[in-house]
Amino acid sequence: MQTRIDCTVVTCNIHEPSDSTLLWDAVRVITRILTQPRDETGLSFSFSDYTPKAKRTMLAIRNAKNMETRKSLYPELLKITQKVVGYAGNVIPLLQKTTLSHLVALRDDLKRIVSLTHRVMDQTARRVLHGEEVPAEEKVVSLFEGCVLYQQARPYNGSDVPQ
């Protein structure tokens, strides 16, 4: 018996996944989603825009000279992300009552992003702060692409050819 495996490669526009950029993406996207129902319908809720602070922290992590400095910045980015997720948690019940289709879609997007953000926050705490190895099947590599398998490119050495 022989087994044949076939696959299709499709390009997608994602950046190299790192914990800091995934957290930054979450803050940015949740904030963008939260501004839409407030601006469009006048729903009454308040939240602060932490995107500038989150971006500065993410860039500081990416540009840190050593692992000790990088690790010391992650709690701040996690705290910012948690605040933004908390705002989303307050807004989701308000959107539960709506029947407007575009607000239902926003609510569903918000729920999906918040769920993924919880996973990213967990993997960041486990990996960066506690030094655990997170299994590949538990990692989130994109908030935007539903099913993304990410493998970092490596130089071809001639032994990668399947037999």
Q: Taking the domains of the chain in order of start, what are their residue ranges?
A: 19-138
* Cα distance between residue 68 and residue 21, in whole Å: 18
pLDDT of 58-108, one tens digit each?
999 999 999 999 999 999 999 999 999 999 999 888 888 877 788 888 889
Please state whether 127 falls in left (phi above 0), alpha (psi between -120 and 50) or beta: alpha
Question: The pTM is what?
Answer: 0.77
In a 3-state reduction of DSSP, which class is residue 148? coil
pLDDT surpasses 60 at 39:
yes
pLDDT surpasses 80 at 138:
yes
Quote the tokens at residue 120.
Answer: 């990213």
